[in-house]
Structure 1
Amino acid sequence: MLPRLPLDDRTYAEIVQQSRRLIPKRVPEWTDENAHDPGITFIELFAWLTEMQRYYIGRVPDRNRRKFLELLGIEPADARSAEAVVRFGNVANPVTLPRGTKLMAEDQVFETDASISLQPLTLERIVTRTEREANDVTSSNEHANVAFYAFGKEARPASRLYLSFDRELRPDETVTIAIKLLEEGRSGESAGRMTDIDRAAVSPSARLSWKAYCWDEATGSPGWMPVELLVDETIHLTLSGKLAFRVKAPLRPVTVHPANEHPRYWICCTVEEAGYELPPRIKRILLHTAGAKQQDTLCEAVEYTVKGEPNESVRIGTYLALYGRVSVQVRNADGAWRFWRQADSPDGKMEEESSPPRDVYELAIDEAKGEATVRFGDGRIGAIPPAGRNVRIIAGTDGFEPHRLVGRSDGLPGQRFELFHLPCRKSDALRLQVGVEAADGGLQWEDWTRVDDFDRSGPGDRHFVYDPAKRLLFFGNGERGAVPPAWPEANIMLIGCVLGGGGRGNVKPGLISEWVNDRQRALRLTADNPEYAAGGADAETLQETLRRAQAELAHRFRAVTSEDYEAIAKETPGAAVARVHAIPLFRPGLADYPRDKAEGQVSVVVVPHSLSDTPAPSPGFLQTVRRHLDARRLVTTEIHVIPPVYVKVTVNAVVVVEPAFVDEGPRLAELLRRLLRPLDGEHGAKGWTFGRSVYKGDIYSALSEGSGVVYVQDLWLDAEGPNVKKSAGGDIMLPPHGLVFSGQHDIRLISRTHL
């Protein structure tokens, strides 16, 4: 007897009874509920079908559900590592920290995602200056929750942001600063760091210039000179990111008000062309920062391309290469890899051999530069690797060496190996090689590729599957996936292994502070994370994947309808879009719309978030939105992204009120300002509808909501703006991309008793 499944506990009889109880409510004219009635027969039939359908749905295993999701292009998300920005301090001497430098946050290991060169340099003061005021915002920069305007609330041309350093910068010295903006309303921002958006698709709304107060040899006097801007991830302070620069001449001290107690070394950022929709607000400006990810790399393999020339060398600037164990593989002509041996002479140098030259290399470690160098021979003293991407450097921790070899293949199908000593939480955390017999009787190593399953694997495909939940490594059966060849000794080897991932990596500010390596700890550098680490998540369960699939399938990714254009435009990364309206069959300059139509064209009107009452998008803002829509439109559709046309509406009215409310004119004017506004307001209040005419009835209705209003005695409307028309009845007719804003309303109140 088959077991009952818990999908639905209602029986056939219960479904029939429930359906019959609904008859008086849904079909009151149905009075014959006896068994001979055809309606009762249909109820019994569909009750039986419902019970069978639910039973079979309950028999669908999780494997089938995963395959159904795969057909939709959706698979359960792997565990994700938290990311954070780490700040280093107490830099007494120049030092380079390699990529993958390990730090601890309680029991969580974090690794830097890039090499960073630290210089003994301090950011002393930060000053903002506009036409009206100058402010020292250094203390605001030291508190993460206090943001300041880089160029004031208006960000007009010639507004400036000054940064001073505690010493003179050298012309050959690269300075990198990290700028964290308060990015209100922009898509693509995550806690602590920006998500991976295409910065090349973001056009700046304003143009800035960076200068430093240097000695000008041409004039023989100091002055403000342009700096060499190497990297600008901020895109003229549009997004958070890093900014790297070099000065072109030696700095000279100068005083800048209000930090003018003594001269300092300053650089200056100036607004050359205004246009910000939202003036940039800075949360933090930091020196000596690097991105970090919650992970613990136990082994890594990096491939290099060589030219096949004598005495060739490759450099690797990673933590494991400097402080771990390094081995080198070179690819043969048949595509397999062979280990080369490090020179074993007392000084680590290659010794002259007779013939043939040996497969050896030299290894040199330079901690000051943060890199390791592998050098090969010249064909007489040491062999030369073949040209191409044929050199691989494998670096691992000392503790990983006992676990590098997973086991021995017995040549049978369906082999599996347990990896309980390596708690990898991601399915792609491993890189693997299998040793096969070489022509000389030794081992050469072949790369195997990780796949999610063997469903698409052929008999000769060197594939493997890793299940992080069970910590099991699977190989194919010879029909789906190749079988590793048998060998009397261990011949399954890991060349890449990364631990980490999960929600526990989302640590609080200041916790990423402990050094793992004793030699790096001896440098006496400080480290901390100014903000929360974010983005860490555990592996997705099947039920969570099903819920996400439903949300993704409902998400618009292709612009077809007007609603699609509006939804996609509002999600433009790097653009703070407040309102958007798509107008089909319309293009700019079309005078008599909708009578005249532009076939195959659509205009998208965008309104940015702004402090202004009439927000106007800059050309760069419009270009960013247009580029985002252009990648998602239909091929036959031409898109125009345009700003709104603002029409100022002024209300002149004579209103009769109760005697106690004759001084309430400002309150009535405020009701009109709430009605005639382009942006949405608080508590779900909507702004004026694009292109909607302003009827006198709208104004009558708004004024009638005022306290003490008896009736509106007289009313007329004035309007100013392009393409605006006035009907015979005094209503204001707007163009299809028009919005209204309030003028100075003239409301005259008359007491009811004075009539």
Structure 2
Amino acid sequence: MNFDFLPQLPSSRLDDRNFDDLLEECLLRIPRYCPEWTDHNVSDPGITLVELFAWLTDQMLMRFNQIPRKNYVAFLELLGIRLQPPTPAQVRLTFYLSTHLLEYTIPCGTEVATERTETQEAIIFTTDRDLVIAQPTIKHILSASDAGDTPRSLLDRTEQWHHQHDGLAVTQEFELFPQKPQFGNSFYLVIEPNTSLSGKVLAIAFTGASGTPTGINPKHPPRSWSAWDGESWIEVLLQEADDTTNGFSFDENTGDDSFEQSGDVTLHLPERLPVGSFDGYKGHWIRCTLNESSHRQPGYATSPRIKTIAMRSVGGAVQASQWVLVEEEILGISNGKPGQSFEVETAPILESLGEEQLLILPLGKPAETWQKVEDFAESKPHDLHYVVDALTGTIQFGPLIREPQTLKKRTQARASLQQAPPAEQLSDQNLHEQIVEQQYGAIPPRGAEIMFTYRTGGGKQGNVQANTLRFMKTAIPYVDYVTNHHAAVNGADAESLEKAVLKVPQILRSQDRAVTAADFEVLTLKGSGGAIARALTLPTSANQTAGSVSVCVVPQANTDLIDLGRGIAPDNFDLNSALRDLVLNYLNERRLLGIQVQLQQPNYVGVSVQAEITLEPAYNNPSAQAEIIHKVKVALYRYLNPLTGGSDMTGWAFGRPLYPSDIMVVLQQIAGIQYLGAILLFPIQKNGESWHRQTTPVSYIDPGSLGLLCSWADPQARTGHSVNILTEQSAMRI
């Protein structure tokens, strides 16, 4: 292990002599200690023995030089620092029901996996809580002329409807929007507040009359669906295919005015959907708003006419993590001795919230549940405690420590010896330090069976792509299918010894208390369990609330996608609510009183590079050119990345602009490139829920003070990099 990255440490070489130095030193000592030995030829048997002992001494010095490194590792153990186990990736699994049910529960612990192939094992995710799918009831139908963040001047149109089966209906056609719809016109569906709709999948069935053209493009209707999450309106229409009403235009080509047509709008509600109260109306709020028309999305010429509205729950989404629960694994039989240790079959052991349980089954006695502790420092001889090394999967019980008598008693003994008369003085044997045995923590009785329930899993391989978790490992009735509409995030590998060494100065400085800006950054990384890769405490701004601290974080992501030539999309760096709550709870226990901590994400700016290169003559064949193009794209995806980017390859610096000269430096390091042509930079900005690449190049890209550059391949949005190979004639003209 190399500690060159710790310049504050002294040199670890206690003796820097090598084999040649030792041999030369021995030869120089021969005339002094054995002057009659004059033949120093290499073939002389004595010289052979000298070389042998020089080699043995060299090997001994090499082991001797390892002592400072071992002392440093021992220092880590004295501080109680253990290597962190892998962090499980997190994802939202969406379950779709196969039939209409009034209320249905998908239990916690349901397992869903990726496809198993010949070369790769299936990656299993397990739901973290129960998913209850209940049926909603529409309470109010409202409309407004303007779609503001806070609905105002609402027009209640519920009286025009009456309940019919599981929906609402009117005796005559009903216009959703005014006679001449305009940008911003909205209608709201307020759902009964006593039904939990967080994360549910709703299907809203509309029935309308055909033969009345609305004037829109059915493939690109100018409307948007959103739901109130307590802070803002969140888009809930996942894709246009989920709207079979074609923007309430239905099928305008039937030509039959009397023919009623229906269609569903499937909405995926956000994870957080609290009860909102606006303008005197209370419930869960869903909104449909008319967007601004364009050449691709012409506006509504007339309002859609609706006859019935029905709403039902067809599924729901729940948080899942990449872990598997191992129940009541038999670790072994106790031998009744202190300091026993057992290892689980499947390491590592993940942190759990109640699932981890150690049972001791003594012979002829009821089972005992033991408690996990960080160490045995405060454990008494009868405390049912154990310690876990999560990375290696080792379970250890309390040791028996033999220690000398306390200093106080030894001092008293010496004092009484000096004050007593010579005849009454104690013998030397009584002055000998007595040895005291102290048991820390209880010992499982001899013959007792040890059973352990724990979680295992984790790692960056859990950051799977969207729509890959499709196979149920747990049989659940009435579930049609399951999928993950978004990629899994926040999975990280186990902590290495090098990272633990780097962490020691930070731990000694912060002392597990958040006071300075650096303390908040260190504790944010520590509290996430490795799920957050980077943290930056933001400077205090004028509009910031007094007593608040903002920390900008970048979660972990699967960097293997870079080597595949795909890059990492900004959506893979999303800070989900589970990770946010985990870090905030950790920081709140260590912050000063009165300090409010906030976590926020950087402003990600995408970059698409268009480069022209000329290859050396040796690479003038299709296979070599394809390999060079792949290397160029991989180098660009790695350089323009929040985790691996920048000149030091530790992540693109916050707020650092990108210039064409930076790209030239990267491309010049790739073997096989002879000349560089034009380097064009195209920024990629997020508009709503999608990313759009600018059509014209720019001279440089400035992400802003809190911005980070990112690059990834998306054929539909044309976000990937483009590499053109020029001929020698074209290169000479350039």
TM bin (shorter chain):
0.3 to 0.5
TM (normalized to structure 1)?
Answer: 0.36
Q: TM-score normalised to the size of structure 2?
A: 0.37
